[in-house]
């Protein structure tokens, strides 16, 4: 449920450094990553062929789709390696008290 445009997806401390949590919001799958400088969220649907991109290996800021190896920057959604050519959607993440929240207008 969205409160002032944000949805709580995890508690602070629940996602370890370099870790991720994959959640369902409405009928979409969203992955929240904890990077060195904060939390970032992308839609967990590869723009190449719909693969579960966030289930692949993460190296620094870069996630690799486990299906055919496309790579995306988790912070910006930008493609950094083919075969994908379109960016993945990103979402605003904020910390509110003990909650990690994703912007969900
Ligand atoms: S579905 Fe992700 S690289 Fe093909």
> What mean pLDDT comes out for the span 5-31?
96
| 17 CA → ligand 1 middle, Å | 25
pLDDT of residue 105: 82
Tokens describing residue 29 = 């799958």
pLDDT higher than threshold 80 for residue 1: no
- Ligand 1 pocket test, pick from 31, 46, 54 with the greatest ligand atom count within 8 Å of Cβ, gives 46
pLDDT of residue 102: 97
Region for 74 from its dihedrals, namely left if φ exceeds 0, alpha if ψ lies in -120 to 50, beta otherwise: alpha
> What mean pLDDT comes out for the span 3-25?
95
List, for residues 23-76, the tens digit of each pLDDT value: 999 999 999 999 999 999 999 999 999 999 999 999 999 999 999 999 999 999
Give the span between the Cα atoms of 42 and 69, in whole angstroms: 17
**Rounded alpha-carbon distances, angstroms, from residue 5 to 19, 65, 102, 104:** 25, 29, 8, 5
Instruction: Quote the pTM value.
Output: 0.95
Ligand 1: list residues with CB < 6 Å: 46, 48-51, 53, 65, 67-70, 83-84
DSSP 14: S
Quick count: other Cβ atoms within 10 Å of Cβ 32? 25
């Amino acid at each position: 449920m969205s409160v002032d445009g944000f949805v709580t997806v995890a508690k602070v401390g629940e996602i370890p450094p370099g870790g991720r949590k994959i959640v369902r919001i409405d009928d979409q799958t969203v992955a929240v990553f904890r990077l060195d400088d904060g939390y970032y969220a992308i839609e967990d649907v590869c723009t190449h062929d719909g693969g579960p991109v966030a289930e692949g290996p993460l190296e620094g800021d870069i996630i690799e789709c486990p299906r055919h190896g496309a790579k995306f920057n988790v912070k910006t959604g930008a493609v950094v390696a083919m075969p994908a050519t379109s960016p993945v959607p990103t979402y605003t993440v904020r910390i509110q008290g003990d909650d990690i929240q994703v912007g969900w207008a």
